[in-house]
Amino acid sequence: MASSRKVIELFYDVVSPYSWLGFEVMCRYRNVWNIDLKLRPAFLGGIMQGSGNKPPGLVPNKFLYMTTDLHRLAQYFQVPISPPADPFEAMFEKGSLSAMRFVAAVQESEVGGDKQVEQVSRELWMRIWSQDKDITQPASLSEAAMKVGLSASEVEELLKLSTSKEIKEKLKRSTQEALDHRAFGFPLAVCHVNGKAEVFYGSDRFELIAHCIGEKWMGPQPAAAKL
């Protein structure tokens, strides 16, 4: 195992199913590899606009491929992805701005780690990409947060905080930092190695990430691989 702990920043948005795959794998490896994983919720819509990229859902052939691809990836990574009945509405008409501001508010409020950020992010992914539920309305955000153990009063404060200028700016900064790393989509993993930032896009670069930080890739389920 590498002698010095490496920092990996993971930029993500819950509107992206590929981000969910990257998120779950990195969370599984955070106690296997000698790393300090930093979760960086950001806004994919801002990345697309800032980089000039087009979402795969807006390119017909990419959209058709994505449907098949996600089914295979869900099985391989053991992540319960089941696309919503109307992916276009979920991803582009409704979007994720309010959801990611809420996640940013959870992160801003949490003390001593990122367990709540991890749990709330996962629950929002479960809603949009497994249960075909809304993630834009306050009631939806409340339900997700309370499901992972936050109290009604805590959720009320988080909802207020999520609409504040402070949190709006926090999410903008995180998104801009991803753009500064030349992001054009999510997930984006930024590995800090020997004073240099090594950037990896997508949910299929784990072998390269492992090589970069001097660790071993043991597949999508490292705990099972150790048995």
Residue labelled with tokens 């391989």? 76
HSE on the CB side for 187, CA within 13 Å?
A: 25
Q: Which two tokens stand for residue 68?
A: 């098949």
- Name 194's Cβ contacts closer than 8 Å, sequence gap at least 6: none
* Number of Cβ atoms within 10 Å of the Cβ of 64: 11
Taking a C-beta distance cutoff of 8 angstroms, is the pair 148, 102 a contact? no
Respond yes or no: is residue 3 known to be catalytic: no
Amino acid code (one letter) for 89? E
Across the chain, the runs of DSSP E, i.e. the strands, are: 6-12, 35-41, 188-193, 196-201
Alpha helices in the chain (DSSP H): 17-29, 44-51, 60-77, 87-88, 97-109, 115-129, 138-147, 152-162, 165-180, 206-213, 222-225
Q: What is the largest CA-CA distance in the chain?
A: 48
Nearest-angstrom CA–CA distance, 216 and 8: 15
* Catalytic-labelled residue, pool 3, 4, 16, 19: 16
Catalytic residues: 16
